[in-house]
Amino acid sequence: MFYLERGIIPCRETVLGGGLYVELGKKRRMGRVFRSDGRAVIVPMDHAVAVGSIEGLRDMTSTMGELVKSRADAVLVHIGVARSVDIDGLGLIVHVSGATRLTEAPNWKAQVSSVKDAIRIGADAVSVQINVGSSHEQKMLETFSRIAEKCNDYGVPLFAMMYPRGPGIKDEHGYEAVGHAVRLGYEIGADIIQTNYTGDPESFQRVVHEAPVPVVIAGGAKAGSDSELLDITSAAMRAGASGVSFGRSVFQHQRPAAMVRALLAVVHDGVDTREAMRILEGASVRMSPDGERVLART
């Protein structure tokens, strides 16, 4: 049995010999990433492995403090950050894929940490990246299968970043490519899938229907404006997304905690962009005695 900071989860192979308790372990851990409404605002901060130290990630303690203050649902980091920075109160997703942009094949994501080590530090989910359509797709799929097996052994959810990315991909944000990537992730065992937003709720609704598991949208490059980011979030949620996974648009924002609060309001409370912008600018959402949502200046 593994004794973890974030709970005691039995291992199927050494303790129980059956799948029921593995699913119970996954369910409990999923509940630390997603709220009871099945939605989540996740802040990924794995970027420095690929591109080096960047604005917003140079002082991880300070940035993480902002996210804890904002009550984001979960963060996604590499194992070294998880070991050294206080992430108390947030769901923890440990990313085990990596490659630097200095290599000749930056799209080939290798396994850089083990599932067991992620569990030892209290991971609520393990994250792996597959660049669908890349010249090294086969190798990444083989790695995925090994990680998925370990996740099933230990009862930890597998969070899969499924990105259409390669020489044969005509449109990385088109339904055909994104839908295929999401379906692939579901078929090979992902419990949660992160992928590109297609640009409109109609086509993304079709993407979501490709997989009966939570699908969250990636942020990609930093959005052009705050209102644009909130518009995208609102549209994706209307299309059936289970949340967002936004990195640079949050940790490089002048007020990261305020941006997270605005995103939380859209994702969990269904507020529109105008109302979310008011939250970002300093208003908080409160409920009146008759159950109506009202804004109060903070």
Give the H or E element holding residue 286. Answer: strand 283-287
Number of domains forming the structure of the chain = 1
In a domain, 114, yes or no: yes
Q: pTM for this one? A: 0.87
Q: Alpha-carbon dihedral of residues 49, 50, 52, 55, nearest 10 degrees?
A: -100
In a domain, 280, yes or no: no
In a domain, 198, yes or no: yes
In a domain, 88, yes or no: yes
In a domain, 284, yes or no: no
In a domain, 145, yes or no: yes
d(CA 168, CA 203): 21
**What is the pLDDT tens value at each position of the chain, 298 positions in all?**
332 333 333 333 334 445 666 688 899 999 999 999 999 999 999 988 888 999 989 999 999 999 999 999 999 999 999 999 999 899 999 999 998 898 887 888 999 999 999 999 999 999 999 999 999 999 999 999 999 999 999 999 999 999 999 998 999 999 999 999 999 999 999 999 999 999 999 999 999 999 999 999 999 766 789 999 999 999 999 999 999 999 999 999 999 999 999 999 999 999 999 999 999 998 665 544 444 445 554 4
In a domain, 213, yes or no: yes
d(CA 15, CA 131): 36
Range of the domain at 251: 2-256
Whichever domain contains 68, its CATH number is 3.20.20.70
In a domain, 272, yes or no: no
